[in-house]
Amino acid sequence: MLVSKLLLPTLREVPAEAEVVSHQLLVRAGFIRKSAAGVYTLLPLAWRVVKKIENIIREEMDSRDGQEIMMPIIQPAELWQESGRWDVYGPELFRFKDRHGRDFCLGPTHEEIITDLVRGEVRSYKQLPLLLYQIQNKYRDERRPRFGLMRGREFIMKDLYSFDRDEDGLEITYQKMFDAYTRIFSRCGLRFRPVEADSGAIGGSDTHEFMVLAESGEAVVVYCPSDSCGYAANDEKAESPVEIEVGQQDQRPLSRVETPGTRTVEQVTEFLGISPKKLIKTIFYQTEKGLVAALVRGDRDINEVKLKKEVGSLELELANPQRVEEVTGSSVGFVGPIGIKDTLLVVDQEVAGLVNAVAGANQVDNHLVDINPGRDFSLDRTADIRLVKAGDPCPLCGKALLEARGIEVGQVFKLGTKYSSALNAVYSDQNGQELPIVMGCYGIGVTRTMAASIEQNNDENGIVWPVSIAPYQVVVIPVNIKNIDQQTMASRVYNKLLATGIEAVMDDRDERPGVKFKDADLVGYPVRVTVGGKAVSSGMLEVSIRKKGDIEMIAEDEIVRMISDFINKESS
């Protein structure tokens, strides 16, 4: 392809609204343009990258007996009502009516559609296992679409669904997909980590997320530094052993003390001269099931995902201060678990074990001391609701955990029979007995993977594509296109590269060399071949590898072999 003909609108300025580097570079390097919040057109180079990622995915799915299909984006509400998700999916679901007033949605995921398909087509154990997948646009009306392709409202996803006879079969399929994902993200040149995750709204039991490690990641990953242990989890899911106070203490009688102006953990603990581990923090949440007061130690934060699960609620947000005053008779900063009305008390396991602790007295400028959980308030709802952080002990080996930020590029779920039971997708086993099909689902964000790759592969000059997913592998730059000798030599090299099957472009634009070099770095072609005056006289061309940045002089005859070797080495 000639660059003069390419739709490749590069920009010098960093777009104002782009917060993360992948978004900035995708816009600046002429890969994407925005239509609406979280909705983008992929220009020719972005589309080439997407197709490369998709092909890597296809190879790994197909070689593991995945069969590609294409399901509809438009989904009837009836199926979602049958699974029970029409009412629980919330505002993320793009809903609409057809001209007859019937309800539909745009597919954010396809468990309902595929389970409906399979219940119609699969009868016997002989047809299982069955693995079906598609690569397609998905629609989610995200609360905060942002970071360009990272969190879109329309994005490309690969979703595979597996159907097995039983849990053992699912285990094998799950492992197969886990291995496939490891291959896919390695082949895409990403540094990533699979982590245990929470199963969220999709439901099911075991699940792992594949996290690309990057500072800009929205997720926090907690992991064990010991390679032999290998524990790693999304912080929404991470667990750590309960810290138990050492030394026996006798319970003292409860009393109230004045603590004027001490609203924060720091102020109270300093005023009373106690450790934050002795303070009980009481945080109020509004849920659709009513008000919830969550209790964690002063040095802890609440894990809202765990809390939501414990309460069994769909919505959970901090209660507003007026509501807190209504039930406590006090104001935030002095609230505590004793004597509150109309509120479900959820107590973290560590709080349950405290002796002679401190909490708000539900009276401004007052705290209670020598509170004893169980004696002074109910422990009926005790659960793990704390957020694990760096430094907490690993649940498997006890070593201090570390933290990193990650971008979730893929997730694998064991769904079990959640959807097959709801939609009555059954098969007959060898004895003719009807059983629900055991399912799994496995997603990869294709467009997000492209963005995540840029987050990891860039420098101050632009994108540094891994060869395996680069839009083109080589750019040939004649320094002065008006010079016939340079033009002839550049075309010769360019055509030889094409003839060998190497994906090359030639920057034939009548631009200053500086402009072409800047664009080449910005776009991120892995290899650049420069044809200037010296090349014509000496027969030696400048070849530069984007990743390394240095320049090598290579004889014209050697160029194709040298570049082929480089590409093969990088892609293996």
> Which residues of the shown chain bind ligand ATP in the complex (CB under 6 A)?
109, 140, 142, 151-152, 155, 157, 408-411, 443, 445, 447-448
- Residue whose token pair is 């989904």: 75
The beta strands (E) that lie in 214-259 are given as 219-223, 232-234, 255-258
| In the complex, residue closest to ligand ATP by CB | 445
Given the complex with ligand ATP, which of 234 and 328 has the nearer CB atom?
234
What is d(CA 229, CA 239) in angstroms, rounded to the nearest whole number? 15
Given the complex with ligand ATP, which of 114 and 563 has the nearer CB atom?
114
Q: Are 259 and 365 in contact (CB under 8 A)?
A: yes
Please, what is the minimum distance in Å from the beta carbon of residue 146 to Mg ion? 17
Q: Which two tokens stand for residue 97?
A: 């009516």
The beta strands (E) that lie in 50-183 are given as 66-68, 74-76, 95-97, 103-106, 130-139, 154-164
492: left (phi over 0), alpha (psi -120 to 50) or beta: alpha
Select the span of 36-44, 65-73, 276-284, 407-415 touching Mg ion (CB under 5 A): 407-415
Please, what is the minimum distance in Å from the beta carbon of residue 65 to ligand ATP? 21
Given the complex with Mg ion, which of 140 and 278 has the nearer CB atom?
140
Please, what is the minimum distance in Å from the beta carbon of residue 466 to Mg ion? 24
What is d(CA 25, CA 7) in angstroms, rounded to the nearest whole number? 16
Please, what is the minimum distance in Å from the beta carbon of residue 410 to Mg ion? 8
Write the DSSP string, 421-483: HHTT-EEE-TTS-EEEPEEEEEEEEHHHHHHHHHHHSEETTEE---GGG-S-SEEEEES-TT-
511 binds, among ligand ATP, Mg ion, none (CB under 5 to 8 A by kind): none
Q: In what order do the strands lie in the sheet with 316-318?
A: 316-318, 280-287, 290-297, 343-348, 382-383
281 binds, among ligand ATP, Mg ion, none (CB under 5 to 8 A by kind): none
Given the complex with ligand ATP, which of 204 and 532 has the nearer CB atom?
204
Given the complex with ligand ATP, which of 454 and 554 has the nearer CB atom?
454
CA-based angle 558:559:565, to the nearest 5? 90
409 binds, among ligand ATP, Mg ion, none (CB under 5 to 8 A by kind): ligand ATP
Please, what is the minimum distance in Å from the beta carbon of residue 151 to ligand ATP? 4
410 binds, among ligand ATP, Mg ion, none (CB under 5 to 8 A by kind): ligand ATP
Please, what is the minimum distance in Å from the beta carbon of residue 355 to ligand ATP? 39
Rule CB under 5 A: choose which of 363, 411, 458, 473 binds Mg ion.
411
Please, what is the minimum distance in Å from the beta carbon of residue 193 to Mg ion? 15
109 touching Mg ion, by CB under 5 A: no
Q: Are 131 and 162 in contact (CB under 8 A)?
A: yes
308 binds, among ligand ATP, Mg ion, none (CB under 5 to 8 A by kind): none
Given the complex with ligand ATP, which of 362 and 447 has the nearer CB atom?
447
Peptide bond into 129 cis (omega under 30): yes
Please, what is the minimum distance in Å from the beta carbon of residue 240 to Mg ion? 22
Please, what is the minimum distance in Å from the beta carbon of residue 199 to ligand ATP? 10
Select the span of 228-236, 294-302, 404-412, 447-455 touching Mg ion (CB under 5 A): 404-412
Please, what is the minimum distance in Å from the beta carbon of residue 313 to Mg ion? 20
Q: Are 361 and 397 in contact (CB under 8 A)?
A: no
Cα R_g (the chain), whole angstroms: 29
Q: In what order do the strands lie in the sheet with 474-478?
A: 504-506, 474-478, 527-531, 540-545, 551-555
> How far apart are the two ends of the chain, measured CA to CA in Å?
25
Binding mask 327-366 for Mg ion (x = CB under 5 A): ----------------------------------------
Given the complex with ligand ATP, which of 142 and 304 has the nearer CB atom?
142
| In the complex, residue closest to Mg ion by CB | 411
Q: What are the residue ranges of helices labelled H in 188-225?
A: none
Q: Which two tokens stand for residue 388?
A: 């694990």
Given the complex with ligand ATP, which of 152 and 336 has the nearer CB atom?
152
Please, what is the minimum distance in Å from the beta carbon of residue 449 to ligand ATP? 7
Which SS3 state, helix, strand or coil, does residue 10 take? coil
Which SS3 state, helix, strand or coil, does residue 194 take? strand
Given the complex with ligand ATP, which of 410 and 526 has the nearer CB atom?
410
> Comparing C-alpha atoms, which of 370, 378, 334, 332 is closest to residue 352?
378
The dihedral sign for the CA sequence 96, 98, 100, 102: negative
Given the complex with ligand ATP, which of 109 and 282 has the nearer CB atom?
109
Select the span of 135-143, 263-271, 335-343, 410-418 touching Mg ion (CB under 5 A): 410-418
365: left (phi over 0), alpha (psi -120 to 50) or beta: left
Given the complex with ligand ATP, which of 407 and 504 has the nearer CB atom?
407
Given the complex with Mg ion, which of 328 and 411 has the nearer CB atom?
411
> Comparing C-alpha atoms, which of 133, 75, 82 is closest to residue 106?
75
CA dihedral 305→307→310→312, nearest 10 degrees, is: -70
Given the complex with ligand ATP, which of 259 and 447 has the nearer CB atom?
447
Select the span of 94-102, 107-115, 408-416, 471-479 touching Mg ion (CB under 5 A): 408-416
Count of positions on this chain that bind Mg ion (CB under 5 A): 1
298 binds, among Mg ion, ligand ATP, none (CB under 5 to 8 A by kind): none
Please, what is the minimum distance in Å from the beta carbon of residue 231 to ligand ATP? 21
- Residue whose token pair is 């299909």: 69
Q: Which two tokens stand for residue 417?
A: 């029979």
> Comparing C-alpha atoms, which of 285, 344, 343 is closest to residue 318?
285
Please, what is the minimum distance in Å from the beta carbon of residue 559 to ligand ATP? 38
Residues that bind Mg ion (CB under 5 A): 411
